[in-house]
Amino acid sequence: MLVIRDITVKYGELVAVQGISFSVEQGEIYSIVGSNAAGKSTILKAISCMVHPISGTIEFEGKRIDQLHSHQIVGLGIAHVPEGRRLFSRLTVLDNLMLGAYTKVIQEGREKMLQLIYELFPVLEERKEQRVGTLSGGEQQMLAIGRGLMSQPSLLLLDEPSLGIMPVLREKIFTIIKKVNEGGVTILLVEQDVQEALEISDHGAIIQTGQIVAEGEARDLLSSDLVRSAYLGL
C-alpha cells in the first residue's frame, strides 16, 4: 500500500531523516518506534506532504505522492492524526468530528461514519455538545482519532497517540487502535512506547538519529537484544 524509498528530509541545514526506506502492506499495523527527536514524526509529515523530501520517493497504492499538497493526500485516503492532537478546544466534540469530513465525497458518507465512531468511542456521543477544552487527555485523543476516521481513510497515520495519557487509558487507546485496524483500516503508528506499539503491530522499524537501525516482524523486534537493552531496560 505504501512504499518509502530512500527519503531524506531536512529542516534548513538540519537533517531530520536520512535514507529511510520501508513499506506498509494493506491491512496491517506498522510501527515506527524510537526515542524522542529520532525523526519519527518527520516521516509521517513527509507522507502527508506537510514537508517534502529533498531526495527519495513515497508511493501510495502505486502512485507517487511526495510532491503533492496535504489536501490532496486526504483525498487519496490518507488521514494524519498529529502529535498533540491539534483539536479546536473552543468548539464542540461534534464540530471537531465534522471538520474531519469536509470534502464533498467524504460528506456523502459522514453520517454513517459518525455512527461508527460513536460505537467505537461511546464517550464522544455522550459529550458531543461539550467543548473539547473540557475533555480529559484520553478523551481528546479518542476525539483526534475519531476526527481522522471521519475522512474514511484506507491508511491512518497516528503520531504518538499515547503521549501525555494516564497509564490506565493508554492501554485502552492501544486496544482501540487494534480494533480500528480489524475494521479494515491500515495503520502506520509512530510511538515512543516501544513495547505497547510492537505488541499490537505486524511489522515495524526502530529509528535512531534519523535512520532505521532495525526492521522486520514486530514480534522479532520485540525480542531483539537492541529493543530489550535500549528500550525495555532488560
Domain ranges of the chain: 24-50+63-230
What's residue 84's pLDDT?
A: 78
**pTM (predicted TM-score):** 0.92
Give the residue among 180, 226, 186, 179 at the shortest CA–CA distance from 203. Answer: 186
In the chain (234 residues long), the average pLDDT of successive 10-residue segments reads 98 95 98 90 96 97 95 92 88 93 68 91 94 91 93 95 84 91 96 91 95 95 86 63
Cβ atoms of 157 and 82 closer than 8 Å:
no
What's residue 30's pLDDT?
A: 98
What's residue 126's pLDDT?
A: 95
Report in angstroms the alpha-carbon separations of 51 from 11, 70, 134: 9, 9, 32
What's residue 226's pLDDT?
A: 86
Distance CA 29, CA 68 (A): 24
What's residue 157's pLDDT?
A: 97
Task: Indicate the Cα dihedral angle 123, 70, 77, 34, nearest 10°.
Answer: -70
Dihedral pair phi/psi, residue 161, rounded to 5°: -65, -20
Architecture category of domain 24-50+63-230 in CATH: 3-Layer(aba) Sandwich (3.40)
What's residue 146's pLDDT?
A: 94
Distance CA 8, CA 30 (A): 20
